[in-house]
Structure 1
């Protein structure tokens, strides 16, 4: 069965923005309506650049609005500084695929400015058991992907430490993220305090 047009549009938009992916990891049999989630991996070209992970499949259906939170369609993106080993690529992809199913398994949409916690650290981000979901923060960074169906929001997944999560829950999202961007590079785990 061919992919829905919205997913083809998302895939082609990613290719136009990031080039051809190095690999794609597929997760089948997700909760309906997410029968399949693909995580595209765009490898780092040099040690100081980043590896980008992007979901394709979450936007097949809109998330239901709840408690004043936006519904709509979205896809996830996580950026990791430097090259990522294939085994770790798979672990990060699995975490993103599981997060993509969150609106349908937990019954709550995902949106900019929210935090989500996990039982274990985000792979390759030691000490980060939560993520902050961010919109665009750099000039020219895409906040959405135009499709023939409707715009698809890009949700940037930023792993954060327990201390950062505590601050995120007590501050306005914009203020917290501005502080975080000033404090550290968000493409790498926070530096261990010694």
Structure 2
């Protein structure tokens, strides 16, 4: 985090406070617009948190475009969790995908917010037949939804891979209702 802005140092401290020191980290340079540098931190399963968690640091360097629709710009960082034993190749593939998703608002001039869905070119790594991701708010009542960093609000966008059937269903109802129903049926952190 040498040379990072006070905001990004605060984002990093917040992630470290929640998860502790990272087990692995990936750095992506030369991103679009204000996000020239993205770190994707990896936290492997522990007795306290039994999933592998990925967290971006760098997406919040700039406000997302304030395009029409919900969200109206703002700053965000991505999180993704997976239940299972990671391999170095899988971690690298997920980190690359998260860095690309973090750059999306500045490549397309479109914001991302809770409830947005995006179709991927390929299956989400480790989730066969999941070619869509939903950007979700907190997945549990006590989960973090936003945090204040250096006087700025940063939203947490949780990545949820979806099958085609789940995607079709998600388009028929508000995202919060859909996620609640889906979580009662499947483990969101495991392949279907």
Q: TM-score, normalised by structure 2?
A: 0.95
Cα distance in 2 for residues equivalent to 1:149 and 1:61:
14
4+ residue stretches of structure 1 with deviation over 6 A? Answer: none
Contact 1:115 1:168 in 2 (8 A): no
1:51 aligned residue: 52
Cα distance in 1 for residues equivalent to 2:159 and 2:131:
12
Map 1:91-170 to 2 at 5 A: 91-170=93-172
Q: Secondary structure at the match of 2:123?
A: coil
Q: Secondary structure at the match of 1:170?
A: coil
Cα distance in 1 for residues equivalent to 2:34 and 2:151:
17
1:25 aligned residue: 26
**Per-residue CA distance 1:19-53 (angstroms, 9 max, x = gap):** 1100110011111211011100001136x920000
When the two chains are superposed, the root-mean-square deviation of aligned CA atoms in Å is: 1.3
Identify unmatched segments of 5+ residues in structure 2: none
Residue 42 in structure 1 maps to residue 43 in structure 2 = yes
Q: TM-score, normalised by structure 1?
A: 0.94
Contact 1:134 1:158 in 2 (8 A): yes
Identify unmatched segments of 5+ residues in structure 1: none
